[in-house]
Amino acid sequence: MQEPNVPTSQVKALACPNCGGAVSLRGFGHTLNVVCVNCLSILDAKSPDLQLLQTFQERQRVFPLIPLGTRGKLHGDVYEVIGFQVREIMVNLVQYAWQEYLLFNSFKGFRYLTHYDGHWNDVKPIQGVPDPSRQGQKPAARWLGETYVHFQTADAETVFVMGEFPWQVRVGETVRTADYIAPPRVLSSETTDGEVTWSLGEYMTGEHVWRAFGMAGSPPAAHGVYANQPSPHEGKTGRAWLKAVWMLAALFSLMLLSSLWMGRQEAFRQKYSFSGSASEPSLVTPVFELKGRPSNVEILIHTDLNNEWAYFHLALIHESSGHALDFGREISYYHGRDSDGNWTEGRRGERVLVPTVAAGRYYLRVEPEMNVARAMSYELRVRRDVPVNLFFWIAAVLVVLPPVFVTLRGRQFESARWMESDYASSGSGDDEEEA
Amino acid sequence: MSRFHSNCPQCAGPIAFQWSSAVQTTCPHCRSILVRRDVDLERVGRVADLPPDSSPVQIATEGVFRRQAFVVVGRILYEYAQGGWNEWHLVFQDGASGWLSDAQASYAVSFLRQASATPPAASTLERGQQLTFDGHSYEVTALTRARYAGVEGELPFEYWDKEEVLFADLLSRDARFATIDYSDEPPLLFLGEAVEFEDLALKNLRRFEGW
């Protein structure tokens, strides 16, 4: 019974009953319908004389990007392009057409490549019925432990066919399609006359397809974000935040260490009183010594102002050279009670930080100013080598910027993806689910 | 295993059974359909030429399913409106009998289940209906009226006098499948699972020109 015959992929001398053109078959006995390459009539491949099933003339010929008969390698197996169809859906009065390439391997069977605007999917039918479920507000489907979120349901019309098919194809036929996504995968159902078939696709780049099928030139550029296109930001967000957390921890340790290491010596401390009516408002402090390496100097003023203001003209003067560094601070402190309760405004103290002062002997010249009828007492303190945390805070902000940026980019990508779905209008309401 | 040997009552050619429980076989010499009656073989007809088909499996193909080696000893070829498919009869090392279905190079292995619960009558069955077998839930996904397009080799039943049969295909949510064959009374229930070609480690396959 084991015939030694080896099936051939070319059926001899078959002629199209419509135009007489030669018809070749690549799908062995699996082919049910074949389309004449010459006149695009759909023929019954099972009938000996290729009975005419449908003449096809209303539309312009579409040329597949990967020609029929091209062989390529997917998942380690050789596949041959034997069929090609264009299907179309209408969403908000806009037509979207995509291409489907039927691939055949005489041992492994059939799979498809779909193509839309530079985006490709490697699709295989599945033997099973995914479990209907929900993900947040959206319907979902569960298959083999993975949840696929509903993306779009539409009626797809076959508008162009070429080559061979192991099922009945007709131009003008419509099926209901539904896509559920778990990037980079997409679970799709097709319903015809109540019969549902499911397939599982995985996103492929044009470059990958071109390599797999040894295509010359470059694939069409991908535009926009496709339903199940993997996000280039996926996983990066978490990694970026983790990195930022480590860097912040390092920064704060450094901050702690530096504050322990800083000298923070008090060089001078003295209390004074002042009255607005004083004839000689300015005073000079005793000379004090600033020691060690060039470092910062902090001057603290603390007053007993009460519903009052004062202005301090200050100068840090180097004793021997007389070189002076001038600065000023306004201090005001008000408080009271109104219908909202107690309130305060301003503070009783101020702080001046002078960066990088060389060691040496210095004194301060102080010239306060205030309402003539008032008086105050105040304390002056001079400290050397105080920790400056501002730089650490700037560094911390810089560390946090990249993950914030990555997070925003990821959000942007996801919202671009869902813009093309049935849920486009609900917009940002989906954020908490995708995060 | 003692194999049953005999001679074809039609052409006297030697007939060697691969599987001791085979009920029907075809003579590889004269294509007679032979049915076992005790120790004798009765010729009940002659197989028509099998229509050309494209399954890579053939009689004597060997493979492995769930670590059990099997050999293909027979087949039934069915045809329906959307094409055809093969049910290859498998005999496992331990003598068990199973089926490898090949529908357009999409493969599944199944076994006859002595129904603990009898499947519902064909007239009450409809698509979308949920049925439970052995604790697993299945959905009726297709009802197919198929025609016997040919038989070959050793089979566990007499199929020679059958012409048309109704099949119910059932799929589960975890890649299991079931088939109910309404050619018999009570109907036959087969339970199995879809398999990948490479997982069967098939040997002695057909060759295809250009592949």
Name the band, by pLDDT with cuts 50, 70 and 90, for residue A435: very low
- pLDDT given at position B185: 81
Neighbours of A312 (CB within 10 A): 22
**CB nearest B175 (choices: A6, A127, A166):** A127
Q: Does A143 touch chain B (CB under 8 A)?
A: yes
Q: Do B208 and A9 touch (CB under 8 A)?
A: yes
Q: Do B205 and A195 touch (CB under 8 A)?
A: no
Neighbours of A3 (CB within 10 A): 9
Beta strand A341-346 with A195-205 is unpaired
The residue that leads in pLDDT, A429 or A389, is A389
Instruction: Give the A:B interface size as CB pairs under 8 Å.
Output: 99
Region A348-354 average pLDDT: 92
- Give yes or no for residue A8 having a pLDDT over 60: no
The residues that bridge with A84 in the sheet, in sequence order, are: A101, A162
**Radius of gyration of chain B from Cα atoms?**
17
Q: Which residues of A284-301 are buried (b: 16+ CB within 10 A; e: fewer)?
A: ebeebebeeeebbbbbbb
State how far the Cα of A282 lies from the Cα of B37, in Å rounded to an integer. 132
- pLDDT given at position A7: 56
State how far the Cα of A37 lies from the Cα of A71, in Å rounded to an integer. 18
A273-298 tens-digit pLDDT: 998 887 778 899 999 999 888 888 99
DSSP E strand stretches across chain B: 5-7, 14-16, 24-26, 32-37, 40-46, 62-65, 68-80, 83-92, 97-103, 106-113, 130-133, 136-153, 164-171, 176-181, 188-195
**By the 8 A CB rule, do A72 and A122 touch?**
no
Region A349-360 average pLDDT: 91
- Give yes or no for residue B1 having a pLDDT over 50: no
State how far the Cα of A362 lies from the Cα of A104, in Å rounded to an integer. 91
Give percent above pLDDT 90 in chain A.
Answer: 63
Give percent above pLDDT 70 in chain A.
Answer: 93
A394 membership: H or E segment, kind and range: helix A390-419
Name the band, by pLDDT with cuts 50, 70 and 90, for residue A434: very low
Residues of chain B in contact with residue A131, where contact means CB-CB under 8 angstroms, are 173
- Give yes or no for residue A89 having a pLDDT over 70: yes
**ipTM score for this prediction:** 0.86
State how far the Cα of A219 lies from the Cα of A229, in Å rounded to an integer. 17
At residue A255, the 3 state secondary structure works out as: helix
Region A236-258 average pLDDT: 89
**Contact partners, residue A311, CB within 8 Å, separation at least 6:** A328, A329, A330, A331, A368, A369, A370
A395-416 tens-digit pLDDT: 899 999 999 999 999 999 999 9
B112-138 tens-digit pLDDT: 987 666 788 888 888 889 999 988 999
Which position has the token pair 């100097």? A297
Q: Do A167 and B83 touch (CB under 8 A)?
A: yes
**CB nearest B82 (choices: A32, A129, A142):** A32
State how far the Cα of A165 lies from the Cα of B151, in Å rounded to an integer. 26
Cα torsion B143, B145, B151, B157: sign: positive
Q: Do A28 and B58 touch (CB under 8 A)?
A: no
Test the B interface: residue of A6, A8, A10, A28 with most B CBs within 10 Å:
A28
**CB nearest B197 (choices: A46, A107, A194):** A107
- Give yes or no for residue B75 having a pLDDT over 50: yes
- pLDDT given at position A427: 46
- Give yes or no for residue A2 having a pLDDT over 70: no
Smallest Cα–Cα separation from B152: which of B63, B79, B46, B62? B46
State how far the Cα of A21 lies from the Cα of A10, in Å rounded to an integer. 15
A97-148 tens-digit pLDDT: 999 999 999 999 999 999 999 999 999 999 889 999 999 989 999 999 999 9
State how far the Cα of A109 lies from the Cα of B86, in Å rounded to an integer. 14
**Radius of gyration of chain A from Cα atoms?**
40
- Give yes or no for residue A300 having a pLDDT over 90: yes
Smallest Cα–Cα separation from A162: which of A219, A239, A82, A236? A82
Position A311, amino acid: Y
State how far the Cα of A196 lies from the Cα of A188, in Å rounded to an integer. 10
